[in-house]
Amino acid sequence: MKIFIQNQQDKVDVDEHISKIIEDSVANTLKIFLQEENFEVSVLIVDNNFIKELNRNYRNVNKETDVLSFPIFEFKNGQLQEDIVVVEDEIPLGDIVISIEKALQQAKEFGHSLEREVAYLTVHSVLHLLGFDHIEEDDRKVMRKYEEQILDSMGLTR
């Protein structure tokens, strides 16, 4: 499994510990649903201005958000919905964009650590890459169950 992390902002310090939290969050989420380990996920860490621009360009929502997911393949609740022809060693699942600035704001607002917020946003986004959503209440409950299960397994409970 390959996890690429790139920090493109300078407002919040992103050290090796935060990078490790992101890597662990991706890996712990994927191992629940995917038997193979030949997957690749890219994580881009940005500020509020950058993610606002992405949100406007890709979702027509002109405001900042905490995280965006850009899946490559179609999944539904962790199940691949299309055939994949493997031509490389690693299969790219998609890209995740996290506003670390927004994550810090939310961590303060919710009264928990930046580490927990970054882990939550990463798990949440990987679940989106795997076809989970939270528009309908039943789907939201399923997604929240997995989020809490994964965070608990990492020792990052509320």
DSSP of 15-34, one letter per residue? -HHHHHHHHHHHHHHHHHH-
- Range 2-154 classified under CATH 1.20.1440.230: no
Q: How far apart are CA 38 and CA 61, in angstroms?
A: 34
Q: How far apart are CA 139 and CA 145, in angstroms?
A: 10
Q: How far apart are CA 15 and CA 3, in angstroms?
A: 16
- Do 7 and 45 touch, CB atoms closer than 8 A? yes
What predicted TM-score, i.e. pTM, was given to this entire model?
0.91
**Beta partners for residue 7, in sequence order:** 45
pLDDT tens for each residue of 55-75: 999 999 999 999 999 998 767
b/e burial code for range 115-139 (CB count within 10 A of at least 16 → b) = bbbbbbbbbbbbbbbbbbebeeeee
- Domain ranges in the chain? 2-154
Q: Is 106 exposed, middle or buried (0-12, 13-18, 19+ CB in 10 A)?
A: middle
pLDDT at 80: 61
Residue 134, annotated ligand binder? yes
Share of the chain above pLDDT 70, in %: 90
Query: Which pLDDT band, with edges at 50, 70 and 90, does 37 fall under?
Result: confident
- Do 82 and 74 touch, CB atoms closer than 8 A? yes
Mean pLDDT of 77-106: 80
